[in-house]
Structure 1
Amino acid sequence: MRTLQTLGRMPIGLTVPAFAILIIVFGAPIVLLFLTSLNAPALSIANYQAFLGQQANVRVLFQTIEVSVLATIICIIIGYPTAYLITAAPKRLRMVLLVLVIIPYLTSLLARTYAWIVILGDRGLINNLLLDLGLISSPLPLIYNRVAVYIGMVHIMLPVMILPLVSVMLGIDKSLVAAACSMGARPFAAFWRVFLPLSLPGVRSGSLLVFVLCLGFYITPAALGGLRDVMLSTFIAAQVATSFNMARTAAAAFILLGIAAVIVSALGLDLSDTPGRAEQPPRKSWRRRLPSFGTLTRNLNELAKPYRAKRWAAELYQVGGDGRDRKIVGTVFVLIVMFYLLFPGVVVITMSFNAGTFLQFPPSSLSLRWYRSFFGDPSWTTAALTSIQIGVAVVILSTIVGMLAAYGLSRTVPRLRAILTMMLLTPITFPSIVVGIAAYFGLLNLGLIGTITGIILTHCIGAVGYVVVIVSATLGNFDRRLELAAKSMRAGPLRTFMKVTLPLIWPGVMGGAVFAFIHSFDEVVKTSLISGFSIRTLPLKMWENMRHEIDPTIAAVASLLIFLPLLWLVALYVTWWRSRPKDQLAVPQL
């Protein structure tokens, strides 16, 4: 009890378990890995020179950057209007659209990649349809090329772009745009001069998240791309599998990490989003640093004032007639995006009930043959049970540690809270292959490679970050006066937390636990490095079958993974719904 009281007086002490796991599994190993890449204690850049001295390595590096940049640009082009239309929709429709975006976001990456293999393959949905219609005589090369890589990567990353944009756009005061229109600005001008600048933080955050995650992509380019579409993550993973030269592998990993660090530091990304931050002085725009352009702009605006005044007087009382057309175009656009996000899952689920030997859409006859194949094959069921066991262990450990860390961070000063939160979020903001290499290097020294304990610890360093973010957001709306009232009635710190704080933040804790399980259950890259070819989880089993043979059993497994997010959303909704009476009765009970 004295220990708990001491920790209660020093909230920062509650973050010790989280930082202990982070430092042991990721922090200290990545520092040692960096020193290894420099051939410590000699400290030379020979490994970096060796990497950059090979033309093939440089080509793969620039190809990785090119693919990541273009995928990010496509996500902005599609995601921004989608988020804008979702924000402008009525509240009920907006919630439905957000759920439709979240479902593919929570769906297994392997399941979505497999869906595109089924659709774009030589015997896939598109080629079969064109062959049946007689439009082509031989299958089109729709897969194993750069276009297929972009299709798969954008499909996976688009929700990551849309969700931050929607979050920022919902906080923009729409009366500002209406005020601009009332002063004679046309809808596009009001959007360009008022709404767009206010939504740029969402564009920045979404773009950086998409770009950094694309840098570490491994599964989708390897499954949908050809030999000329190799990403640097695939190159690093191949080095780990075929060579034990950790110095050169570390150099390649830090080159990839350096690219991500440069972009993040240049544009600025604060994922901590901690309340109570001091206002930062606004940065000077690049336009203000060029006085000649500013003077020219002001002169042009002065010349255009009479024209704008005349147009405003002429159009003041006119009724806009293109509103219906804009609504139709917006509705069609949103429907196309939702079709793009959800249709691959529908195809896989439908094909999983096919009774034939080969996958076919639509199925000639319905059967549970491939589901029986999954549950009747010990290799599949053993892999599934292993993934569930690891996921449950990760949920228990990361939820407890992350909840304590979030509680402690919420009671520290804002500046320190932002720094510590960013440190806890590094495993989910760094490229996945870099985190996997660092964890492999650290657990190798501890003798935990090829063990379930090593996999659990590796998954936890990312899962803790999700729990901290979600629980911290819940604590941001928590009224601390309830805790003070309980303490004034002689309730101790532990009793206050268990009886007052925990019931009120329970929905956030459950949300963090759900994301922790999804993060663990869908992990492939880090698991493949830490498992040491001795432990097979369900994602690893799926990945092996996708690379060597297209077993229709994968369709049944993928369909089960697609249904899984629906169960999580129902569980989260039930938890939130059941917590509402407790929130309302908290003050009377106190």
Structure 2
Amino acid sequence: MAVSTATPEAPATGRPGPARTARKRPSGWLFLAPALLALVVLFVLPLAGLVVDSFTEPETGLGNYASLFTDGYTIRVLGRTLVIALIVSVIGALLAYPYAYAMTLAGPTMRALLVTIVLIPFWTSMLARNFAWLVLLQDGGVVQKILTPVGLGDVRLLGTPIAVGISMTQVLLPFLVLPMYSAMSQIDGRLVAAGQSLGAPRSRAFRRIYLPLSAPGVVAGMSLVFVLALGFYVTPALLGSTRSAMIAQVINVRARELLDFGGAGAMGMFLLVVTLVVLALSRRLAGQNVAVTAAGGQPRRTGGTADSSAPVRPWLKVHTTIVAIILVAPTLVVIPMSFSSSETFRFPPDTWSLRWYENLFTSPEWTAAILNTLQVGIYTAVIATVLGTMAAFGLARLRPRWRGPVNGFLLSPMIVPHILVALVVFSAFLQLGLNGTLIGIILAHTAMALPFVVIAVTARLQGMDGRLPAVAASLGASPLSAFRRVTLPLVLPGILSGAVLAFVTSLDEVVIALFLQAPGAITLPVQMFNSITVQIDPTISAASSLMVVLVSVPILLAQVVGARRGKKGTR
């Protein structure tokens, strides 16, 4: 997904005071130095070390890379991973495109509802969603009961690639809907009507005009989902089996159990190369489509209405309803399950009780995991917010030729497959003695959360009039006073949003925490994961509901605060 980070520079005012102030501004590199140094130490150097290991462990040469294409088991795992990622991307696109199109046709109230439904998965813990699908897809579960009338009630889903694909599609669906809707909302709906006025049937006008104009959003969404699916670990580990393992599971076994960093590193490099190739092709294809759009006239924002004359067909209403149910299903399962008194994962519950909440808040294991999670999340949010905010201000002070490359480097942890980041950190921290410590988890989470802060603060800086600090300086304000009274209040919503995103990113992160776990350094997501894979503990249902609250409340509060500050700013 391409993220624009171009920050308009403050135009020259021609007044001596502001000009002198501008010359005295600290260099952008000074603001960028802490974040760049952190990423080099926590990410770049460990990644370079893993690359070296892939060529030297257990012996120097290309043996680890050769085994990727000669070992039968490895070939099957790589092929299965690529196929599942492709299927998830295609099926997700088929589900997302009509839903996004319906969002452009809907009125303001309905559109707001559809957008909220798309955002609900972002407010629900990844582990909670996977736990919900485990309950729904288990033998005798809701899905199997639905399939019984059509003669498919005996089909086993859990432990198969089908279950993995279903859950991954639901988890990644918002990453398809949002880019598609963004592209569609830029299309002038009158173009299709113009095509019809020239004699083209509506279906042909849609296919020849609307579909090509919305293609950049489709390409961006499918590419992003394909790349994310390649490195998925939690879903195949919980819903799949060893016979349907994906590459992330094999990397985990080779690194954590066999300590084969050479073989695991080669697999990680394969993932990274595929990721970079897919993103490069996506950018090229989307760029070509954008060029076609521009050649035909700059599309205007239509306020979300693709074609005011287009009727909302019944099939589109049915499709949108089904997709909405798919998006909210895990949340609707997790909360009722937490009030069950059963010691098995049964939905809907037969009897109701608060026993699992009692166990969640009285068990030493669970309470320690909750406290560890909050501690790691708070420290991560503080460190990432400070480094990310400074980096965003530094980017704004850089010359344009440096801004793009530096921004790309700052966002690189978002591009690299998550399992590879976990492998890199695990390999490096093992040598530094940081494995099994909360400090190690905090440092790793900081590297993952930093890009979100940079994006949030940079976006806010882009919307700020760069001349305001210069005007304050011309009126006699010192640089510090101008920053405190002018710049900071305007950028504060972006800083708060970045802090919330950093906190939530750490709160819901499980793969890195799994790699770095040890007694005394177990977070709530890791405890939840272990309660399914190591020992069956129904307390996970209450923990899943707690995670929904811990993830959603900060996001909702940030939105409320941002909306109130926005209203004050318009008065």
Give the TM bin, normalised by the shorter chain. 0.7 to 0.9
Distance in 1 (alpha carbons) for counterparts of 2:64 and 2:255: 15
The counterpart of 2:77, out of the listed 47, 52, 60, is 60
Map Cα deviations across residues 120-150 of structure 1 (whole Å, 9 max, x no partner).
112433446788x9x9898641211111111
CA gap 1:533/1:62 in 2 versus in 1, 3 angstroms: farther
Aligned to 1:547: 533
**2:354 maps to 1:353:** no
Distance in 2 (alpha carbons) for counterparts of 1:51 and 1:542: 33
Task: Determine if contact 2:161/2:240 at 8 Å carries over to the other structure.
Answer: yes
Map Cα deviations across residues 437-465 of structure 1 (whole Å, 9 max, x no partner).
11223333433222211111111111011
Aligned to 1:226: 241
With the length of structure 1 as denominator, give the TM-score of the two structures: 0.84
Structure 1 segment 91-490 matched on structure 2, within 5 A: 91-127=108-144, 140-268=155-283, 326-490=312-476
CA gap 1:461/1:269 in 2 versus in 1, 3 angstroms: farther
CA gap 1:432/1:239 in 2 versus in 1, 3 angstroms: same
Task: Determine if contact 2:500/2:555 at 8 Å carries over to the other structure.
Answer: no
Map Cα deviations across residues 153-190 of structure 1 (whole Å, 9 max, x no partner).
00100011111222222222323333333333332222
Aligned to 2:92: 75
CA gap 1:364/1:50 in 2 versus in 1, 3 angstroms: closer
**2:35 maps to 1:18:** yes
Distance in 2 (alpha carbons) for counterparts of 1:417 and 1:40: 37
| Ranges in structure 1 where 5+ consecutive residues have no aligned partner | 272-279, 286-319, 586-590
Q: Cα RMSD between the aligned structures?
A: 2.8
Cα deviation, residue 544, structure 1: 0.6
Task: Determine if contact 1:392/1:517 at 8 Å carries over to the other structure.
Answer: yes
Give 2:49's aligned amino acid: L
Distance in 1 (alpha carbons) for counterparts of 2:448 and 2:24: 25
CA gap 1:282/1:202 in 2 versus in 1, 3 angstroms: closer
CA gap 1:410/1:199 in 2 versus in 1, 3 angstroms: farther
Distance in 2 (alpha carbons) for counterparts of 1:425 and 1:238: 28
Distance in 2 (alpha carbons) for counterparts of 1:7 and 1:53: 61
Comparing 185-194 and 340-349, the one that deviates more: 185-194
Comparing 230-239 and 246-255, the one that deviates more: 246-255
| Ranges in structure 2 where 5+ consecutive residues have no aligned partner | 1-20, 293-306
Distance in 1 (alpha carbons) for counterparts of 2:205 and 2:152: 51
Comparing 121-130 and 240-249, the one that deviates more: 121-130
Distance in 2 (alpha carbons) for counterparts of 1:179 and 1:469: 38
Comparing 544-553 and 173-182, the one that deviates more: 173-182
Distance in 2 (alpha carbons) for counterparts of 1:369 and 1:269: 55
Secondary structure at the residue paired with 1:268? helix
Distance in 2 (alpha carbons) for counterparts of 1:26 and 1:533: 25
Give 2:229's aligned amino acid: C
Cα deviation, residue 251, structure 1: 1.4
Percent identity between matched residues is 36
Distance in 2 (alpha carbons) for counterparts of 1:41 and 1:260: 26
Give 1:8's aligned amino acid: R
CA gap 1:45/1:78 in 2 versus in 1, 3 angstroms: same
Aligned to 1:509: 495
Cα deviation, residue 376, structure 1: 1.4
With the length of structure 2 as denominator, give the TM-score of the two structures: 0.87
Cα deviation, residue 397, structure 1: 0.7
Distance in 2 (alpha carbons) for counterparts of 1:159 and 1:137: 29
Give 1:144's aligned amino acid: G
CA gap 1:242/1:42 in 2 versus in 1, 3 angstroms: closer
CA gap 1:241/1:584 in 2 versus in 1, 3 angstroms: same
Task: Determine if contact 2:67/2:74 at 8 Å carries over to the other structure.
Answer: no
CA gap 1:139/1:497 in 2 versus in 1, 3 angstroms: farther
Give 2:136's aligned amino acid: I
Distance in 1 (alpha carbons) for counterparts of 2:115 and 2:151: 38
Distance in 2 (alpha carbons) for counterparts of 1:577 and 1:137: 49
Comparing 227-236 and 358-367, the one that deviates more: 358-367
Cα deviation, residue 390, structure 1: 0.1
Distance in 2 (alpha carbons) for counterparts of 1:42 and 1:67: 32
**2:561 maps to 1:575:** yes
Cα deviation, residue 59, structure 1: 1.1
Distance in 1 (alpha carbons) for counterparts of 2:36 and 2:210: 40
Aligned to 2:8: none
Aligned to 2:545: 559
Aligned to 1:31: 48
Cα deviation, residue 200, structure 1: 1.9
Distance in 1 (alpha carbons) for counterparts of 2:541 and 2:397: 47
Secondary structure at the residue paired with 2:232? coil
Aligned to 1:308: none
Task: Determine if contact 2:449/2:501 at 8 Å carries over to the other structure.
Answer: yes
Comparing 61-70 and 571-580, the one that deviates more: 571-580
Distance in 2 (alpha carbons) for counterparts of 1:564 and 1:181: 50
Comparing 413-422 and 213-222, the one that deviates more: 413-422
Task: Determine if contact 1:125/1:360 at 8 Å carries over to the other structure.
Answer: no
Task: Determine if contact 2:339/2:354 at 8 Å carries over to the other structure.
Answer: yes
Distance in 2 (alpha carbons) for counterparts of 1:128 and 1:181: 46
CA gap 1:174/1:506 in 2 versus in 1, 3 angstroms: farther
Cα deviation, residue 574, structure 1: 1.8
Aligned to 2:299: none
Secondary structure at the residue paired with 2:411? helix
CA gap 1:580/1:282 in 2 versus in 1, 3 angstroms: closer
Distance in 2 (alpha carbons) for counterparts of 1:100 and 1:252: 36
Task: Determine if contact 1:107/1:564 at 8 Å carries over to the other structure.
Answer: no
Cα deviation, residue 192, structure 1: 2.0
Task: Determine if contact 1:122/1:141 at 8 Å carries over to the other structure.
Answer: yes
CA gap 1:336/1:468 in 2 versus in 1, 3 angstroms: same
Map Cα deviations across residues 86-114 of structure 1 (whole Å, 9 max, x no partner).
12211222122111111112311110000
Aligned residues: 536
CA gap 1:239/1:6 in 2 versus in 1, 3 angstroms: farther
Task: Determine if contact 2:31/2:391 at 8 Å carries over to the other structure.
Answer: yes
CA gap 1:328/1:50 in 2 versus in 1, 3 angstroms: closer
Comparing 380-389 and 338-347, the one that deviates more: 338-347
CA gap 1:581/1:264 in 2 versus in 1, 3 angstroms: closer
CA gap 1:40/1:482 in 2 versus in 1, 3 angstroms: same
Cα deviation, residue 579, structure 1: 0.9
Give 1:12's aligned amino acid: W
Secondary structure at the residue paired with 2:397? coil
Cα deviation, residue 361, structure 1: 3.0
The counterpart of 1:495, out of the listed 455, 474, 481, is 481
Task: Determine if contact 1:25/1:461 at 8 Å carries over to the other structure.
Answer: yes
Cα deviation, residue 355, structure 1: 2.8
Secondary structure at the residue paired with 1:171? coil
CA gap 1:201/1:281 in 2 versus in 1, 3 angstroms: closer
Distance in 2 (alpha carbons) for counterparts of 1:533 and 1:165: 44
Task: Determine if contact 1:86/1:94 at 8 Å carries over to the other structure.
Answer: yes
Task: Determine if contact 2:441/2:516 at 8 Å carries over to the other structure.
Answer: yes
